[in-house]
Amino acid sequence: MTTQPTLQWDVFCRVIDNFGDIGVCWRLATQLAGQGQRVRLWVDDASALAWMAPQGCPGVELRDWHAPPPGAQEAPTDVMVEAFGCEIAPEFIASTAYQASVRGRKPVWINLEYLSAERYVERNHRLPSLLSSGPAQGWTRWFFYPGFTAATGGLLREPDLIQRQEAFDVAAWQNAHAHPSLPAPAAAAAAAAGAAVRWMSLFCYEPAALPQWLQLCEAASTPTHLLVAPVRPAHAVRQALGISSKNVLQGTTDKRGQLYISYRTPCPQAVFDEMLWACDLNAVRGEDSLVRGLWAGKALVWHIYPQDDDAHHAKLQAFLDWLQAPASLRQLHHTWNGLDDLPLQWPDDDTLREWTACVQAARARLLMQDNLVAQLLGFVMEKR
């Protein structure tokens, strides 16, 4: 087995909204460090890391976006990763260009793009872009696209992820997090068989179909324990239920018919992952939680980030095509994302099993591909 040399990576991230960008970049940085690499993560708003990654990570150094470039006494840059088109500061580029002229070696410059299942991803993956001006004139910036197929850069995945999932005790987690109002026999049966209570996580924006979904949960024959992520999902649920959202108390609970609601508190990424593993159905959003929902191997519905020109519609359809989603799961996604206003159908146990089998088959396909970090490391070694 070939040992990768230790390189200095500088990863750049601007937090646009919802902390999805920093979530992806933190996972990238920690997984690079886990492979023996040194990482400086430059971010303009690191506040979310206080709860997302309170312990930090050995090998990852956090830098403020506006801090000066590394000095002469610090490790020079071997790899620059510009996440999601965030545009590296000109001062950093100028400093790095000077260091490169002294060293006689340019860093590998990677533009890490957004995740999509659309066909253009395979066409554009690994394409070069020659810089025609500025202090880095003549350098090449490489486009690197995460994706779902072997012709893309793959997805973020820790090497031991599947082993940790297999060792995870779902029953113990559910017992520890059961809603206090759930009848004891139902809670016990759920822990034993996973059928008497349907566990669902909710991480969304403001889906138009949410009020209808909550009504279905209230009236269903099977109780639903809904685990609601903080901030936007919690406000969306309260609004859908006609409750003032000014005082959404994290860590509180509610009960409405067969719907048992737990409002979750902000949590580290590993704790969020465990919640997905423990649920029967996961509502995910954006990019990071979609990937983690796929690795969880449970039924999921994706709330794609809405765009003004409706470009997200084609992106959603491309994902559903790749997923090989059955008709019922496609319909749920269409209504959940506002592509139509058809009435939602409550999934019976057979339907939920079909959705879960679909996600697990997709996960099996993904596991046959190298993960994003492995591909990045190989690409950098190729271009150095």
Range of the domain at 195: 161-367
Tabulate helix, strand, coil % of the chain (nearest 5): 40, 15, 45
pLDDT at 191: 46
- Pick the range with the lowest mean pLDDT from 14-18, 167-171, 321-325, 379-383: 14-18
Cα 356 from Cα 347, distance rounded (Å): 12
Whether residue 214 is found in the same domain as residue 148: no
Q: Which residue has the tokens 């070696």?
A: 105
pTM for the predicted model, two decimal places: 0.95
pLDDT at 192: 46
Model confidence at 2, pLDDT cuts 50, 70, 90, reads: low
Could you report the per-residue pLDDT of 138-192, keeping only the tens digit for each? 999 999 999 999 999 999 999 999 999 999 999 999 999 999 998 764 444 544 4
In a domain, 1, yes or no: no
Task: Tell me the average pLDDT across 89-103.
Answer: 95
pLDDT at 226: 98
pLDDT over threshold 60, residue 1: no
pLDDT over threshold 70, residue 326: yes
Q: Considering only CA atoms, which of 264, 257, 254 is closest in space to residue 215?
A: 257
pLDDT over threshold 80, residue 360: yes
In a domain, 128, yes or no: yes
pLDDT at 187: 46
CATH number at 89 reads 3.40.50
In a domain, 230, yes or no: yes
The strand order across the sheet containing 128-130 reads 60-64, 38-43, 8-13, 79-83, 108-112, 140-144, 128-130
Whether residue 147 is found in the same domain as residue 227: no
Whether residue 360 is found in the same domain as residue 373: no
pLDDT at 247: 65
CA distance to 233, 285, 312, 365, per residue, from 308 (Å): 21, 17, 9, 32
In a domain, 314, yes or no: yes
Could you report the per-residue pLDDT of 104-150, keeping only the tens digit for each? 999 999 999 999 999 999 999 999 999 999 999 999 999 999 999 99
Domain total in the chain = 2
pLDDT over threshold 90, residue 236: yes
pLDDT at 246: 67
In a domain, 104, yes or no: yes
CB 351 within 8 A of CB 330: no
Model confidence at 194, pLDDT cuts 50, 70, 90, reads: very low
Whether residue 322 is found in the same domain as residue 177: yes
Whether residue 95 is found in the same domain as residue 206: no
Whether residue 14 is found in the same domain as residue 89: yes
Task: Tell me the average pLDDT across 249-263.
Answer: 93
Q: Which residues are catalytic?
A: 21, 287
Whether residue 228 is found in the same domain as residue 346: yes
Average pLDDT, the chain: 93
Could you report the per-residue pLDDT of 282-318, keeping only the tens digit for each? 999 999 999 999 999 999 999 998 888 878 899 999 9
pLDDT over threshold 70, residue 279: yes
pLDDT over threshold 80, residue 206: yes
Whether residue 291 is found in the same domain as residue 148: no
* Strand-pair category, 198-202 with 140-144: unpaired
In a domain, 286, yes or no: yes
Of 243 and 349, the structure prediction assigns the larger pLDDT to 349
In a domain, 180, yes or no: yes
Sign, Cα dihedral of 96, 15, 308, 362: positive
Whether residue 140 is found in the same domain as residue 183: no
Whether residue 22 is found in the same domain as residue 168: no
Whether residue 105 is found in the same domain as residue 204: no
In a domain, 2, yes or no: no
State percent of the chain over pLDDT 90. 88
Whether residue 86 is found in the same domain as residue 193: no
Q: Considering only CA atoms, which of 84, 100, 176 is closest in space to residue 135?
A: 100
